[in-house]
Amino acid sequence: MAFILKTGTKVQLALELTDADGNVVTPTETPVWSSSDPAVVDVDASGMASDPVGAGLGTATISAVADGFTGVIDITTVAGDAAFANITAGTPEPR
C-alpha cells in the first residue's frame, strides 16, 4: 500500500489485523512503529506519521509490529494534498 503526504502535514496511522476469514482482530499488544527514513517521514509511538520540518521530498516505509505480525505502508512526501490511510496486515499466521 502507498500513501501521499503533503510536506508539513501529518496523518494518523492504524494497524489492522485480519484472521483467515477476513474478520478484524484486535491486537493484544500495542503496535511498535518505525520508519525506514525518519528524515523524510517520522512516526511516533501512537502511529502519527509526519513530514519533519525542513525535510525534503522522498519516500519512507512505515512499519507497525504487534502480536508477531508486521504491517507496512510506503509514504511519499509531495507538495500536494494528503488524505488518511490505514495500515493493513495480511492474514495472521504463526511465526
Distance CA 44, CA 61 (A): 14
Residues 6+ apart with CB under 8 A from 92: 17, 18, 19, 20, 25, 67, 69
Give the residue-averaged pLDDT of 56-73.
90
Q: Are 58 and 77 in contact (CB under 8 A)?
A: yes
pTM (2 decimals)?
0.78
Residue in the structure block whose three cell numbers are 495472521: 92
Q: List pLDDT tens digits, range 11-20.
A: 899 998 888 8
Residue 6: beta bridge partners?
Answer: 78
Q: List the one residue out of 13, 54, 6, 11 whose CA is nearest residue 31.
A: 13
For residue 23, the surrounding DSSP H or E stretch is: none
Task: Examine the pLDDT at 66 and tell me if it is beyond 60.
Answer: yes
